Structure 1
Amino acid sequence: MKTRLIKTTLAAALALCAANSYATQNVTVYTAFETDLLAKYKNAFENDNPDISIKWVRDSTGIMTAKLLAEKNNPRAEVVWGLAGSSMALLKTEGILKTYTPKGLAALDPSLNDPQADQAWFGNDAFFNAICFNDIVAEQYNLPLPTSWDDLTKPVYKGHIAMPNPASSGTGYMQVSAWLQNMGEGKAWNYMTELDKNISHYTHSGSKPCVQAGMGEVAIGISMASRGTKLKTQGAPLTLVTPEGIGWESEAVGLVKDNAAAKRVVDWSVSKQANELYIEVYPVVGHKDVHKEVKNFPNVKPVMAKMDFARMGDQRAQVLKTWSEKFDSKSEPRS
């Protein structure tokens, strides 16, 4: 009886030790990835790393960047995964991101990564803007298909255009930055003033203008090309237009807290397996060996704006201050 009791106690102790050895560790990951992608990325990572669980904290790029800056002295994130390169450059300058060399770095496209020698962020994919044009609404209002940015300032489009507020949306900020960097500041601000005359409203989400165009709430949404592609594939009556100088950014990963579990999240996020998930939505990804044509995605490479991500990060506060003073009155209320 005594021997049996000892064996039972020993078995219970071993089972408890085994359970504890496989207890999952939570890693808090701040992101601006589209909401419908989060479960897919989390499940794939946790399938390969059953001892680590991702705890997502998600918001739009502008809001997530502001949150990280506000928490600078008491960071709550351990990893930032899926945030615009310009924001990552700013976070690095502010000392929020740690210098780190992930496993598999040599397989990544360097043009999407931190260009400085002490690298702290690495591109998962490149995301692009597009003009989402609702063919049915356009026919109702006799609106011609725009083919250039200047076309959008024509009086015929008055009240028919939505675009993201750059202060709360990285999608909006990258297009404003593309105009500023490629038109020159004076011409770009004049352009945005003329465009504002035709704007119905500014959204706080980068994908929302295209969603609204797809639903017929507006005729035109300056928005995420990936969202327009998805909606078009699902049957929305959209034509995607990519004028010369279309805004784009690297969507990147970086380390906030220097611990082993957080490093494993960063390592996995730049892996070939992770990039094979990114390519399902984005036509340009960080891994050199991952390529795939994305159905209905416009040909963006010939019209990509020249983008300086470090400059975008450095000038962000002043650009957003100026933009908000000029145009914020048309922004939708924050939910």
Structure 2
Amino acid sequence: MTKIKPFAMGLAAIALGSAALAETELTVYTAVEAEDLARYAETFNQDHPDIKINWVRDSTGVVTAKLLAEKNNPQADVIWGLAATSLLVLKSEDMLEPYTPAGLDALDPKFRDSDTPPSWVGMDAWVAAICYNTVEGDKLGLTAPTSWQDLTKPEYKGHVVMPNPASSGTGFLDVSSWLQLFGEEQGWAYMDALHENIGAYTHSGSKPCKMAAAGETVIGVSFAFRGAKSKAEGAPIEIIIPEEGIGWDMESTAIVAGTDNLEAAQTLVDWSITPKAMEMYNVGYAVVAIPGIAKPVEHFPPNIPEKMIDNDFEWAANNRDAILAEWTKRYDTKSEPKG
């Protein structure tokens, strides 16, 4: 029998130890705001330093289209921070791995897939809002809107910017919520009138508010988190919650079917619904998936929860392609160039 020298045994132990400490890398597709990704990864790595996250980030519509295009050759392991309406589309294509994460029972039932085991779980809600630049509005002698219908007033012609729903999840929740609020016929009639006042449709949900904050437009149809962040940075904007009610969607998490890193992916999904994760989301979002955790967020209007519509996510997901095709046919001529 060949004896192993102590030096060789030491090297073998080091090699085994290194293998045990080696990182698992996860490719994570997301539509989370770019400036928050480092914070998300850092907070997760406090508990799981052995899993490295490689982010692939873009707007909701772009990420959704990328995932659908990769259906037969998936490149992502996990989706962390994509609209629930998009995940419902992916679920219908059998692209998600059902999984019951630890702590599931603590979630508000609205913040999870209804199947058992669920194919996705929610993180937080992002809600529609109007960002109104008070300085630019005063210069032009305008009055701040209080409703969605106000945005069709002739005084706002050329002064409204909103996201393109084909590329932006915020844009899609606006359009799908208007169709639910006003009915389909009146919803399209509303968007026809709104189109007359639109200066441009952006491919980012946060950009209209950033433009309003910078004085590049008076009114940006965006979401409350972006408005609160811009106001905290000193922008002269009001964050307006229209009186008819506001559309909303959930940032959600799911495992991509066929991942080679299933155990690490499950670890990330488990962590994504922990109280610690919810506290992290609450830095920018006033509504999170575990009831009782969220604290008020600075500059968020106080009436958000009661203004959130009873959103039919299944209807929005099932009709997504038809809604986007109709919207594109009617209004895409005012969209900013892509890229």
> What range describes the TM-score normalised by the shorter chain of this pair?
over 0.9
TM-score w.r.t. the length of structure 1 is 0.96
Q: Percent identity?
A: 48
> Runs of 5+ in structure 1 lacking a partner?
none
Question: Partner residue of 1:251?
Answer: 251
Contact 1:178 1:306 in 2 (8 A): no
Q: Tell me whether 114-123 or 256-265 shows the greater mean CA deviation.
A: 114-123
Question: Cα RMSD over matched residues?
Answer: 1.3
TM-score w.r.t. the length of structure 2 is 0.95
Question: Partner residue of 2:295?
Answer: 292
- TM-superposed deviation, 1:306: 2.1
Q: Secondary structure at the match of 1:131?
A: strand
Question: Partner residue of 1:320?
Answer: 324
- TM-superposed deviation, 1:117: 4.2
Name the aligned partner's letter for residue 178 of structure 1: S
Name the aligned partner's letter for residue 271 of structure 1: T
4+ runs of 1 displaced by more than 3 Å?
A: none
Contact 1:46 1:52 in 2 (8 A): yes
Question: Partner residue of 1:222?
Answer: 221
Superposed, 1:140-159 pairs within 5 Å as: 140-159=139-158
Question: Partner residue of 1:233?
Answer: 232
1:308 aligns with 2:288: no
Contact 1:88 1:121 in 2 (8 A): yes
Query: Could you tell me which of 264, 268, 281 is aligned with 1:261?
Result: 264
Query: Once the two structures are superposed, what CA deviation does each residue of 1:81-128 show, in whole Å capped at 9, x if it has no partner?
Result: 101011111111110112111000011111122134442111100001
1:279 aligns with 2:282: yes
Name the aligned partner's letter for residue 88 of structure 2: A
Separation (CA, whole Å) in 1 of partners of 2:271 and 2:116: 22
> Runs of 5+ in structure 2 lacking a partner?
none
Separation (CA, whole Å) in 1 of partners of 2:184 and 2:310: 14
Q: Tell me whether 42-51 or 55-64 shows the greater mean CA deviation.
A: 42-51
Contact 1:181 1:306 in 2 (8 A): no
Name the aligned partner's letter for residue 121 of structure 1: W
Contact 2:100 2:116 in 1 (8 A): no
1:9 aligns with 2:8: yes
1:45 aligns with 2:44: yes
Separation (CA, whole Å) in 2 of partners of 1:148 and 1:294: 23
Separation (CA, whole Å) in 1 of partners of 2:20 and 2:306: 52
Separation (CA, whole Å) in 1 of partners of 2:13 and 2:292: 44
Separation (CA, whole Å) in 1 of partners of 2:271 and 2:28: 13
Question: Partner residue of 1:329?
Answer: 333
Superposed, 1:176-187 pairs within 5 Å as: 176-187=175-186
- TM-superposed deviation, 1:290: 1.3
How many residue pairs match? The answer is: 332
Separation (CA, whole Å) in 2 of partners of 1:220 and 1:42: 33
Separation (CA, whole Å) in 2 of partners of 1:143 and 1:289: 40
Q: Secondary structure at the match of 1:206?
A: coil
Question: Partner residue of 1:189?
Answer: 188
Contact 1:245 1:306 in 2 (8 A): no
